[in-house]
């Protein structure tokens, strides 16, 4: 008779529940009760990281296609998978509060036994960052990632991270997807009557009007934002004294992709843009959740060890604080709110384009 499936066997709980081996529990060591919590929490983190990578693999598959139907089942599932990633990140942030029940003295009982292992060496978290689009040159203290000594990554793990960074990341695929948006093709703008005709005949009439409306809404103290606008969306070079602002204004996305993203945000109530807007909005939320995770980790480490060196020979909380402030992946999308105008001032779209944007079939 065939054996029926049993819950314990299906989940392979013999392996899972016997995978906790606190170092302080070993013979000859001083027993530290809270090390079990430390192990379980971090194993749970890694299981959730595995699920995040699994969901992101599907999202990458969809955005890697040459043609994407924004109203298809694929895009519905992309939104669903990304929402799941966001929820997992929110859960991870909550799990940090469980680790906070361990006091600094509790941690000190077994901390030295962990050296030189460190959470920095979480390969899966680095793969999540790389899959989303965090590149090595944009990492805080990037030299830490190339160390072959104790506290760094093993050769195979570093190779895996490098391979992941070498393929198309989600942010690059999002850029390509946005650049494909056809809604600025002049066939949709034949009947458009610009209120502020562009001095340059090559300029698109919508962006000539939008630039003028945006500039008219800036306060005296915001007047310089028009220079930012022209760089971000119209590819006008920044003055020499503003070049250091370049990465803060637009770093991952092209001007064409930024124009499409802003247009989607402005006119997101049209049926054809609703799913696209949800994708952009969830990506910003995922970035915020990752930032919250990094900040929570920084706060926890600062509480536990103060300004001491990390077990992996990093600067400890100093490294985490720097990463929390600089490891944003979808900063370009989050910055779009800088350039929004009031709904009542938005340019009225031509009939040809409205018919296209209202199509749901």
What is the CATH classification number for the domain harbouring 307?
1.20.58.480
| Total structural domains within the chain | 1
Residue 266 CA: distances (Å) to CA of 4, 63, 72, 148, 259: 56, 23, 22, 48, 11
The CA distance from 42 to 22, in Å, is 12
How crowded is residue 265: how many other Cβ atoms within 10 Å of its Cβ? 18
The mean pLDDT of 112-124, rounded to a whole number, is 86
pLDDT above 90 for 211: yes
Query: Which of the pair, 116 or 93, is modelled with greater confidence?
Result: 93
Confidence of residue 321 (pLDDT cuts 50, 70, 90): low
pLDDT at site 135: 78
Terminal alpha carbon distance of the chain: 52
pLDDT above 80 for 94: yes
The mean pLDDT of 96-118, rounded to a whole number, is 90
Domain that holds residue 151: 32-357
pLDDT above 50 for 360: no
As given in the structure block, the two tokens for residue 236 are 């006008």
pLDDT at site 203: 80
pLDDT winner (highest mean) among 78-87, 101-110, 113-122, 241-250: 78-87
Taking only the tens place, the pLDDT of each residue in 267-291 is 999 988 999 999 999 999 999 999 8
The CA distance from 339 to 72, in Å, is 30
Give domain status of residue 235, yes or no: yes
Give domain status of residue 4, yes or no: no
Give domain status of residue 17, yes or no: no
Give domain status of residue 10, yes or no: no
Give domain status of residue 58, yes or no: yes
pTM over 0.85: yes
Confidence of residue 361 (pLDDT cuts 50, 70, 90): very low
pLDDT above 70 for 146: no
Give domain status of residue 21, yes or no: no
Taking only the tens place, the pLDDT of each residue in 8-37 is 999 999 999 999 999 999 999 999 999 999
Give domain status of residue 6, yes or no: no
pLDDT at site 307: 58
């Amino acid at each position: 008779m065939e054996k029926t499936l049993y819950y314990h066997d299906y989940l392979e709980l013999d392996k899972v529940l016997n995978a906790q081996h606190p170092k302080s529990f070993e013979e000859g060591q001083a027993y530290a009760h809270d090390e079990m919590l430390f192990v379980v929490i971090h194993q749970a983190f890694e299981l959730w990281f595995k699920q995040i990578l699994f969901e992101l693999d599907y999202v990458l598959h969809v955005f890697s296609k040459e043609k994407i139907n924004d109203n298809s089942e694929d895009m519905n599932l992309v939104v669903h998978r990304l929402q799941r990633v966001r929820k997992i990140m929110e859960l991870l942030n909550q799990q940090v509060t469980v680790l906070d029940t361990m006091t600094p003295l509790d941690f000190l009982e077994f901390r030295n036994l962990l050296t030189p292992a460190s959470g920095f060496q979480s390969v899966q978290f680095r793969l999540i960052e790389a899959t989303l689009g965090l590149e090595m040159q944009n990492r805080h203290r990037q030299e830490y990632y190339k160390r072959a000594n104790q506290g760094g990554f093993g050769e195979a793990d570093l190779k895996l991270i490098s391979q992941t960074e070498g393929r198309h990341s989600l942010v690059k695929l999002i850029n390509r997807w946005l650049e494909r948006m056809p809604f600025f093709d002049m066939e949709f703008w034949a009947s458009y009557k610009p209120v502020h005709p562009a001095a340059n005949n090559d300029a698109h009439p919508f962006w000539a009007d939008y630039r003028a409306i945006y500039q008219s809404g800036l306060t005296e103290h915001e007047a310089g934002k028009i220079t930012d606008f022209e760089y971000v969306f119209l590819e006008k070079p920044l003055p020499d004294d503003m070049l250091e602002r370049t990465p803060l204004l637009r770093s991952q996305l092209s001007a064409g992709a930024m124009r499409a993203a802003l247009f989607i945000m402005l006119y997101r109530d049209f049926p054809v843009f609703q799913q696209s807007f949800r994708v952009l909005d969830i990506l910003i939320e995922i970035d915020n959740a990752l930032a919250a995770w990094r900040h929570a980790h920084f706060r926890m480490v600062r509480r536990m060890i103060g300004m001491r060196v990390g077990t992996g020979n990093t600067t400890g909380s100093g490294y985490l604080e720097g990463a929390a402030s600089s490891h944003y992946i979808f900063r370009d999308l989050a910055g779009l709110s800088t350039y929004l105008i009031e709904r009542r001032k938005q340019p009225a779209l031509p009939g040809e384009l409205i018919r296209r944007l209202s199509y749901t079939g």
